[in-house]
Chains A and B, each alone.
Chain A
Amino acid sequence: MAENGKAGGPLPVVDYLKLPEDGEPYLEGHKCGACGAIFLGARATCAKCGARDRMAAVKLANTGSLYAYSIVHRSFPGIEVPYVSAIVDLDGGGTVKGNLIGIEPDPKKIAFGMPVEVVYKDALGRKDKEGNAYISFFFQPRAA
């Protein structure tokens, strides 16, 4: 895997979260040059049209809108609840899933299609076996 993250600094929670040495974090998509389908993570062949070796990395937008969600009240042991599991359509293409923060976990407060922005923060204090810290991405409401 290519270097991703500053030397000695926190690591990205997933490969498609990019932490450039000099610049802001962003989410990376891989777009098919033949049909335009966008994927998360590098790949050689398009699952939509089958084209080979036509993938190119693209920077995904940090803004989007809430497509669907669930408010999770029971999860695996040790996982803090409740939280909002959100499916977000990013402006310009690409759909990602993450926690929606900065909003009450209450269906009356959450609206389909509400504008959100992608923010990058420490991964809730979670560390791997080697003690490395991680940067994750979250969604939070934004003014339209």
Chain B
Amino acid sequence: MSEVYILGTDMIRFGRFPDKTVPQIGAQAALMALDDAGLGIRDMQALYCGNLFQASAMVGQRILQEIGQTGVPVVNTANACATGATAFREAWMAIKAGMYDLVLAVGVEQMGKGLLGGTGGARGIPKEGLLGSGTMPAVFAEAGMEHARKYGTTFEQFAKISVKNHHHSTLNPKAMYQKETPLEEVMNAEMIAYPNTKLMCSVNVDGSAAAVLASERKARELGMQRAVRVRASVLTSDPWQERDLVMPDVNTCTRNAAKAAYEMAGVGPHDIDLVELHDCFATAEMLHYENLGLCGDGEAGKMIDEGQTALGGRIPVNVSGGLLSKGHPLGATGIANLYEVSTHLRGEAGKRQVAGAKLGLTHVIGLGSACAIHVLEKVS
């Protein structure tokens, strides 16, 4: 089977664009990624488009209506917050299968403001605040409190994750927010769902990101100078757990995906130079240090205390600013993570560059649940 390469990738600066349509926002990143690859839409043999909130509205085809209706196959994916990564993975699989040499993957989302999460069904009466909470900040707070129960993780340790990612975002011109948030400010921000304060919740923004994927043959033909090799692509769903019905499990599907991804890439967590993981809430990032094997079980609190996951630390995590500060346009997030890691592997990340990065990992979780992990490698 052919190796698969990223030849071009880019993202728009995340923000709020109420005057634009979803396809217009997606088209921007698509054109930027094509430009980055030095290619045009007529070179693309298929389009894989990730978008969640307009999942029934043919967003991929409408992007082609913006940038060139070439008649190629279009697949639209929806997989909660793993939507963009799932689109990328479908593109990767199509090249692996030998169907195409050049394909485009786009992730795009236009978000409203406010809380995400269910109110508990249409029948009867609203269940929110009656049978606990279905809001995302509370659901991920409960997942964090499970960690606190096991290992004594503190509110302050969770808050430090947000301090770190907001600091990273000051070095990323494409982040929605680029502002330092000292520990006191994070801990004293409005409490949304203990232990997650407002500054420990990801930012709802509009955004798009895209990547041009190529077969080995095509990559060699076009030139590999800035190519990034996809060493692993894994997607899992959540195996049954006893508390599933009331407490979505984001841990097991991540652990399973990480194990499979390291195996596919033939590397271990100690080989990875940087990670972009799914910090939808500060509590979530803590769990994934252990789920991804960046440290042993129960050691995540120590990792953040010692600055091991900060830029310059042992294994920098979310140097883009993460979902907490760069922003989280659901369908775009997975590909934006791939853009970030690719940019470091290319040595083009400017002030936030992870020095000498050769191998990077991206991770997203769609609650419900889907986990997608990719391992990327510098080529030259």
Contact = CB atoms under 8 A, between A and B. Distances in A.
Contact of B190 (A72, A74, A89, A124): A74
Q: Is the interface of B mostly helix, strand, loop or mixed?
A: loop
Contacts of B155: 107
Contacts of B90: none
Contact of A99 (B132, B193, B194, B196): B132
B130 interface: yes
Contacts of A40: 245-246
Interface in A5-38: 11, 13-14, 37-38
A47 B239 CA distance: 9
Interface string B186-208: 00001111111000000000000
Interface bin, chain A: 35 or more
Given A68-B145, A126-B130, A87 B194 contact: no
A143 B31 CA distance: 64
B245 A39 contact: yes
A95 B243 contact: yes
A127 interface: yes
Contacts of A98: 130-132
Interface string B231-255: 0000000001011111100000000
B119 A112 contact: no
A140 interface: no
Nearest to A97: B246
B138 A85 contact: yes
B99 interface: no
Contact of B126 (A11, A87, A126): A126
A99 B129 contact: yes
Interface string A45-65: 001100000000000000000
A89 B245 CA distance: 12
B280 to A, nearest CB: 15
Nearest to B131: A98
The dominant DSSP class at the A interface is strand
A5 to B, nearest CB: 12
Nearest to A40: B245
A45 to B, nearest CB: 12
A86 B146 CA distance: 11
Contacts of A38: 242
B128 A79 contact: yes
Contacts of B119: 76
Contacts of B146: 67-68
B377 to A, nearest CB: 37
A80 interface: yes
A11 to B, nearest CB: 7
Contacts of A74: 115, 135, 137, 190-193
Interface in A64-123: 67-76, 79-81, 83, 85-87, 89, 95-99, 107, 112-113, 123
Most chain B CB within a 10 A radius of its CB, from A13, A76, A112: A76
B133 A13 contact: no
A68 B194 CA distance: 12
B346 to A, nearest CB: 40
A75 B129 contact: yes
B142 interface: yes
Contacts of B142: 68-70, 85, 87
Contacts of A81: 129
Nearest to B191: A73
Contact of A124 (B115, B130, B245): B130
B124 A11 contact: yes
Interface of B: 115, 119, 124-133, 135, 137-138, 141-143, 145-146, 148-149, 155, 190-196, 240, 242-247
Given A13-B131, A70-B196, A95-B246, 18 more contacts: A13-B124, A13-B127, A13-B130, A70-B133, A70-B193, A72-B137, A72-B138, A74-B135, A76-B115, A76-B119, A87-B132, A89-B243, A98-B130, A112-B148, A112-B149, A124-B129, A126-B125, A136-B131
24 contacts: A14-B131, A38-B242, A40-B246, A67-B149, A67-B243, A70-B193, A72-B193, A73-B190, A73-B191, A73-B194, A74-B190, A75-B115, A75-B128, A75-B129, A76-B126, A76-B135, A79-B126, A97-B131, A98-B130, A113-B149, A123-B130, A124-B129, A126-B126, A127-B125
